[in-house]
Structure 1
């Protein structure tokens, strides 16, 4: 080949490469406009599309592009009950574009006939489930219901495990994750059994595919109850204390920090010497933080206060006051209500259950404007652009309503609600190959 012909060859190659880059950039800008439900299907179009979608660049660009998009989420009941597990669902949101709510997606093929199914925990798009076979045997699964990936957790190889599992102080509802760049890279299934002055953790890790047994010193094990659920966030599990007005937290990825063998006991914030709580203690998550909210009676007025957990300490620096709002607009209408959860992605919104009209109140803490959504109404768009759907919600609310009355403020504390939030990206189930 002559020297004069080489530039032509190189020029054609550069033009071809430039053309491919332009086509790739164009394809990226087209794909990011679709919901994740469609993106999941596009991965099977061709090998090139799959490689492009699986790039870290595409994931980061997609998450950034959809940062303001509404996301599907659900309110899950955690009290053992015969009714549906998902009592309120938000679907049809921009990011995922789901035509059905989360509860209808929890389906998979098990090895045998299932007589009972119970959702134990929901964390970062993953779900922990216990199913009961026709002969009463339990099987535990971890899964990503949106991608229909499920993995059966092997039974712990501990001696006398069946005896431990039937103990009244045994709980199998813990699930924590490790996140990197918005993707779940690891999870741990956590079961616990309380003993005198110590807690026994049974932990299955997706990193090792094995169980470990961990005994942790805790002088006040009576703070736990076998029926209590936990809330997971950033590798921590958080429980309500049964004895004190506090939250118990343990870091399953950070290890022991030299404080009570890794336990943190965080008292709830104190509003003042004349503090009169209207509801039992509870907490939830919102915008990536643990939040605590309650009503206080002051000068014959009801004040809703919302705090965000900032530090795992027992000092005044632990909590930050986010909202201090009068609820006159609700009281003047004679609405009988109790708090449910904060919106997981918007800390301006709190959900109340209206007992008098059997509906869900969405209250904006900034504008003090509220909307009422009844279970008997037709499906319609909610405030955040999602379709709000109910599933035996009013019956569940009535079954737990006495817990919130002032005459029932003594006794054990419980978490009656959990949140399932659809992930911001298509992360697959870590660890062993799912089924």
Structure 2
């Protein structure tokens, strides 16, 4: 009896081993595609990204609507996000609070650490003079200063290290915000917004760059409240909301003090009209209120603390078209002293996915405070730079040292200042960073 030949034509000294290998390969090939996709859908996003590079078929299967829907169903409440302070040149990014979800991305370190150091091109060295501008649905905008007169802009995903360089606008203008469009859970496009200098009365002049065209467009937006774009905006569903001080001399309404409390100016950069929505911020009884603007569960939220009394407002519309905005209390006022938490605090932000969770800064203890507005439990976080388990299965980190440095700037501030932290939230699914058709991947 002749022994089986090897691939080189020689006798195989161990035919059972060769046959066993062939049999195993056949069994692997017989695994149904449905079962294979079911296995992949249970893996973290980071692992799926590696499998997508195995073959064109696997890449196509893992990008199908069915697979993405299945992935969402298996990872319903797992999120990874960071709340970051405003930063300046030479101090690129400062994370105040970070949260790692259970298994969506499987990241070994905080989101902020993926931006440091910043390397927009794989074959070029890292850059030093840059700063974080804005974030939207997992994309961030980074400004790089090569020299005093030479700057570059990049939008991308710091975790996947995908970046798109944005050309400079036709005229000089200031960085304002970043908005995105999401369809079926996927980020399909983004827009970069810059505010022109020398604003005119009742007109907000901006340049807008679109990833769909790769071009800048100029827009004149109507707003009865002057907009200078100096304060960082919050963004939701393609809209930017900016807090603006009232720079007019006449009163807007009875008993309203100009230049004191200001307005929230909103505009949908994926809309068709040129009219901004403007709503005054809720006016407290005392101008020494501490307050913040934030978002939670897809809504703009305004938090104020006055004499140990905490109020949370939600921005909503009073008509079906959503053309008129108003503030509504999201829950009853909470007297912090009456529940045993008689602490001098500033509101920082709310949990992006849970509007029962609020984050405060305790001036007395110099630390972050987590508050549950449902159970009325408030916890001081004295530790810094350490990851600890959260109640929903993830891990949290509170950056006490950098938070103190930032909040010391509010020591003598009154209600003319609003704390606005930037939310960097990784979506449950991230495809390639959107880019214009003429820019190759």
Shorter-normalised TM-score: what interval?
0.7 to 0.9
Residue 282 of structure 1 is matched in structure 2 by 292
After TM superposition, the structure 1 stretch with the greater mean CA deviation from structure 2, 105-114 or 421-430, is 105-114
Instruction: Give, in angstroms, the shift of residue 225 of structure 1.
Output: 5.1
Residue among 78, 84, 87 paired with 1:76: 84
Query: What CA distance in whole angstroms lies between the structure 1 residues aligned with 2:292 and 2:360?
Result: 13
Judged with a 3 Å threshold, the aligned counterparts in structure 2 of structure 1 residues 316 and 58 are, in CA distance, closer, same or farther, namely closer
| Partner SS, residue 310 of structure 1 | strand
Aligned CA distance change for structure 1 residues 394 and 239 (closer, same or farther; 3 Å): same
1:346 equivalenced with 2:354 (yes/no): yes
| Alpha-carbon distance in structure 2 between the residues aligned to 1:150 and 1:409 | 40
Q: Which moved further from structure 2: 117-126 or 39-48?
A: 39-48
Cα distance in 2 between the residues matched to 1:225 and 1:44: 42
- In structure 2, the CA distance between the partners of 1:378 and 1:429, relative to structure 1 (3 Å rule), is closer
Name the residue aligned to 1:174: 177
Q: For the structure 1 residues 368 and 220, does the alpha-carbon distance in structure 2 shift closer, same or farther, using more than 3 Å as the test?
A: closer
Q: Which residue of 1 aligns with 2:199?
A: 195
What displacement does 1:278 show? Answer: 5.3
Kindly provide the CA deviation profile for residues 189-238 of structure 1, in whole angstroms up to 9, marking residues without a partner as x: 000125221221111111111111112334432x5353x11111111110
Summarize the Cα distance change of 1:316–1:305 in structure 2 as closer, same or farther, 3 Å threshold. Answer: farther
In structure 1, C-alpha distance between the alignment counterparts of 2:42 and 2:131, rounded to whole Å? 36
**SS of 1:357 mapped into structure 2:** coil
* Superimposed CA distance per residue, residues 73-93 of structure 1 (whole angstroms, 9 cap, x where no aligned partner): 001111537544323322253
- Is residue 2:247 matched to residue 1:240? no
Equivalent in 334, 339, 343 of residue 335 of structure 1 = 343
The match for 1:253 is: 270
Q: CA deviation at 1:64?
A: 2.1
Q: CA deviation at 1:112?
A: 6.8
TM-score under structure 2 length normalisation? 0.80
1:144 aligns with 2:154: no
Deviation at 1:418, TM superposition (A): 0.8
Give 1:53 shift: 0.6
Post-superposition offset of 1:173 = 2.6
Alignment of 1:296-375 (within 5 A): 296-297=306-307, 302-311=308-317, 318-328=326-336, 332=340, 334-375=342-383
Mapped to 2, the partners of 1:202 and 1:21 lie a distance apart of 55
SS at match of 2:61: helix
Count of matched residue pairs: 389
Does the 8 Å CA contact 2:277/2:324 hold for their aligned counterparts?
no
Aligned to 2:404: 397
**Residue 234 (structure 2) aligned to one of 216, 231, 234:** 231
Mark the CA change 1:324 to 1:80 in structure 2 (over 3 Å): closer, same or farther: farther
Q: Which structure has the larger Rg over C-alpha atoms? A: 2
User: Between Structure 1 and Structure 2, which shows a larger proportion of helix residues?
Assistant: 1
What is the TM-score with the length of structure 1 in the denominator?
Answer: 0.81
Aligned pair 1:424/2:424, yes or no?
no
Residues 85 and 118 in structure 1, CA contact (< 8 A), matched pair in contact too: no
Question: 1:294–1:414: structure 2 CA closer, same or farther, 3 Å change rule?
Answer: closer
Matches of 1:428 and 1:352 in 2, distance apart? 36
SS at match of 1:409: coil
- Mapped partners of 1:112, 1:137: distance in 2: 17
Match of 1:115 in 2: 128
Change in Cα spacing, 1:65 to 1:112, as seen in structure 2 (3 Å) is closer
In structure 2, how many angstroms separate the alpha carbons of the residues matched to 1:332 and 1:149? 48
Output one character per residue of 1:93-135: Cα deviation in whole Å (capped at 9) or x when no partner. 3221211111111232456763311110010110001011156
Residue 308 of structure 1, CA deviation: 1.7
Deviations 1:161-184 (A, max 9, x none): 3xx34xxxxx30311111111111
3-state SS of paired residue (1:290): strand
Unpaired runs of 5+ residues, structure 1, are 1-18, 166-170
Q: Find the aligned partners of 1:277 and 1:410 in 2 and give their Cα distance.
A: 5
Q: Answer whether contact 1:304 1:325 (CA < 8 A) is retained.
A: yes
Aligned-partner SS, 1:324 = coil
CA contact (8 A) 2:176 2:194 kept: yes
Residue 103 to residue 402, structure 1, CA distance change in 2 (3 Å): closer
Mean Cα deviation higher: 110-119 or 285-294: 110-119
Task: Tell me if structure 1 keeps the 8 A contact 2:80–2:426.
Answer: yes
SS in 1 for 2:182: strand
Partners of 1:217 and 1:199 in 2: how far apart?
A: 6
Aligned to 2:186: 183
Q: Distance in 1 between matches of 2:144 and 2:338?
A: 41
